Amino acid sequence: MNKMYALALGLLLFISCGKDKTNAGEDFSKSSSTETSDPTSYDPNRGEGKYSTVDLGTGLNVAMAAEGEKVAGVKCMSCHKLTDERLVGPGWKGVTERRTPQWLMNFAINPDPMIDKDPELQAQLELCLVRMPNQALTDDDARNILEYMRQNDGVK
């Protein structure tokens, strides 16, 4: 009998859970490209996003860095300085040495999931108290900004 109860109870729970799932509205607040993955699979070197590797080529692409400076001027420089001084967010000096290119690209394009998972970003949030906003950067924007960061770090 006990078994039957357990079965019935399980069935009830199952039904109610199932119903809840079917009623769940699509989460409109997240962009469709956001994938929810297991937090334990988070790779702190790569970050989370579409980039696993970034081909940096040989030396600095000056044209890309110049484009990056333009975009950053509109979308980034309200909060970041080129020195190591923190404004709203940390200064950019040395950032390309501290982080992998793919981590920077993933973070620039879609910061929210990484802020939720990356231990270092969470520690940084305790200092800055402002989550880095999604500034709607395109892939090209992010790549150009990366080049601008590299230039700032002395890459020739």
Partner 1 sequence: MNTKFLKITAALILIVAFLGSCKPKNTSDAVSGDAAQKAYVAPGKYDEFYNFVSGGFSGQISVYGLPSGRLFRVIPVFSVDPEKGWGYSEETKPMLNTSHGFVPWDDLHHTEMSQTNGEIDGRWVFGNANNTPRIARIDLKTFKTAEIIELPNSGGNHSSPFITENTEYVVAGTRFSVPGDYENGDVPINTYKENYKGHISFVKVGKEGEMDIAFQIMTPGVNFDLSHAGKGKSHGWFFFSCYNTEQANTLLEVNASQKDKDFIMAVNWKKAEEYVKAGKGKKQKVRYAHNTWDEHTHTAKSVIKTEVLVLDASELKDICYMIPCPKSPHGCDVDPTGEYIVGSGKLAALIPVFSFDKLQKAIKDKSYEGDYGGIPVLKYESVLHGEVKKPGLGPLHTEFDGKGNAYTTMFVSSEVVKWDIKTLQVLDRVPTYYSVGHLCIPGGDSKKPFGKYLVAYNKITKDRYLPTGPELCHSAQLYDISGDKMQLILDFPTIGEPHYAQAAPADLIRNNGQLKFYKIEDNKHPYVTKGEKDAKVVREGNKVHVYMTSMRSHFAPDNIEGVFLGDEVYFHVTNLEQDWDVPHGFAIKGADNGELLIMPGETTTLKWVPDRVGTFPFYCTDFCSALHQEMQGYIRVSPKGSNIPLHYSLGTNVPATK
Binding site for partner 1 (CB under 8 A): 1-2, 23-26, 28-29, 73-75, 77-79, 87-88, 129-131, 133-137
Our CB check for partner 1 shows the closer of 28 and 59 to be 28
Residue 101: closest CA among 46, 34, 43: 46
**Min dist. Cβ of residue 34 to partner 1 (A):** 13
Q: For residues 152 and 77, give the distance between their C-alpha atoms in angstroms, rounded to a whole number.
A: 13
CB of 29 to partner 1, least distance (A): 8
Minimum Å distance from CB 74 to partner 1? Answer: 4
Q: What one-character DSSP code corresponds to residue 139?
A: H
The secondary structure of 49-71 as a DSSP string is SS-S-----SS--HHHHHHHHHH
Rounded distance between C-alpha atoms, residue 54 and residue 111, angstroms: 18
Q: Which of 116, 121, 138, 122 is nearest to 37 (CA)?
A: 116
Q: Among residues 37 and 134, whose Cβ is nearest to partner 1?
A: 134
Min dist. Cβ of residue 138 to partner 1 (A): 10
Q: CB 57 → partner 1: shortest distance, Å?
A: 26
| Nearer CB in complex with partner 1: 46/131 | 131
Amino acid at 42: Y
| Residue among 75 and 93 whose Cβ is closer to partner 1 | 75
Alpha carbons 89 and 79: distance in angstroms, whole number: 6
Residue number with CB closer to partner 1 (56 or 128): 128
